[in-house]
Amino acid sequence: MSKYWKIFIFLVLQFLSVLSYAQQIDIVGLRYMSSAQKSRLVFDLTAQTQYRVFAMNNPSRLIVDIKNAHLKQSLIQPELTHPLFDRVRAGLKNDTDLRIVVDLKLTADATNLVFSTNAKDTRHLVIDLFNQDANLVSKNETPKSDQTEGNKKNPAKSQETAVVNKAVMPKNGGRIIIAVDAGHGGEDPGARGLGGTEEKIITFAIAKKLEALINSQPGMRAVMIRKADYYVGLKDRVRIARAAKANLFVSIHADAVLNADIKGASVYTLSTSGATSEAARWLADTENASDLVDVSLNDKEEVLASVLLDLTQTATQEASVNVANQVLKNFVNIAELHKDSVQKAGFMVLKSPDIPSVLVETAFISNASEELNLLNVQYQTKMANAIFNGIRSYFKQSLPEANVAALGL
């Protein structure tokens, strides 16, 4: 009898498993967001589901197929002034799946749209459509051709010099461009303090103060990676910085651990292993690698292309460490240090091979006293000043005296 009982339980469990798998997913809402870099669709779901996203022409439209889904309520239409989304409609496909069609205000080929989706969020389906003009910025940069006759006779030497200097020299009308990245944002709040403080709020407050300090310096200009409370993908943050031709990328965060007693600020640069893997990815894409080193690699052997890319990353990593050390020095007088030396990690936002990049953990939001500090406007200002002074010290030491004087550093 026990044998039959076991078989019965097994069949019941299998049946419940099938019911669970086949459980219908409800779409309970749709939100629209837009920025200079992209437009975003956010579907609110009752559970994780399978989906497919693709674009079609005549007319231009985005198709979203969501498996075994049902509309809980009518979808809100985009505003008439939305730059990309025109009208949204939905209908059943194969009696069980939901097809959502988003009409687009595009005259170009919609199938050339660049978009990404989130794969891990169980309660939201987020679709980002990137501004095509912004995507073309880095590809349409005019290659530098102001070589002297002497350099033309020795192109390998001139390429090496250009690659090494690229990590330091301003390239936007003589001004130094600083990409300021406020960590997290939008539906990604980041870490949360014991008092409920969200990391995204703190990082943006400090980033705005740093932006003001940079813009007050005659020879500098700040470019905010996000300008409000919305989410920007990690690779998109790097792409925005490169499109702005930034000389430096600074990402601002607030640390968090389970041990609430741990406190202090830290500064990170890209680890060697992270740099190596990113170099391989860039080298595999000849077009990106050529843009990176300002040299056409189509007629170069793979070894030479690899050497040029390595030169770029080496110069970038050295510059990143130098910036990080300067920022760390300025932290000494205003905050306790969690680590008194520059740390290495494989953070995605540090992986631009041609832009020196640092990530600043301003304090531990998981520590009660530091959470209060992070909420204090005066403390935020001190942190922004420390980061700014570190940046300015780095460029004063790295640039030729004539450039330092011209930039007013």
DSSP of 288-300: HHHHHHTS--TTS
| Residue 82: both structure tokens together | 């939305």
Q: What is the pLDDT of residue 319?
A: 86
In a domain, 297, yes or no: yes
Distance between CA 246 and CA 251 in Å, rounded? 13
Establish how many alpha carbons lie within 13 A of residue 12's alpha carbon, considering only the half-sphere containing its beta carbon: 6
Helix (H, G, I), strand (E, B) or coil at 85: strand
In a domain, 7, yes or no: no
**How big is the chain by its Cα radius of gyration, in Å?**
25
Under 8 Å between Cβ of 344 and 318: no
Work out the pLDDT band at 343, boundaries 50, 70, 90: confident
In a domain, 11, yes or no: no
- Clarify whether residues 122 and 165 are in a common domain: no
- Clarify whether residues 324 and 187 are in a common domain: yes
- Clarify whether residues 114 and 247 are in a common domain: no
Per-residue pLDDT reduced to its tens digit, 223-239 = 999 999 999 988 889 88
Indicate whether this model's pTM tops 0.85. no
Q: Between residues 354 and 247, which one has the greater pLDDT? A: 247
Q: Which domain holds residue 122?
A: 23-132
In a domain, 313, yes or no: yes
Per-residue pLDDT reduced to its tens digit, 5-37 = 554 554 544 544 444 445 678 888 888 887 767
Q: Which of 132, 167, 199 is the last residue of a domain?
A: 132
In a domain, 145, yes or no: no
Q: Which of 69, 100, 132 is the last residue of a domain?
A: 132
Query: In CATH, what number is assigned to the domain containing residue 113?
Result: 2.60.40.3500
In a domain, 137, yes or no: no
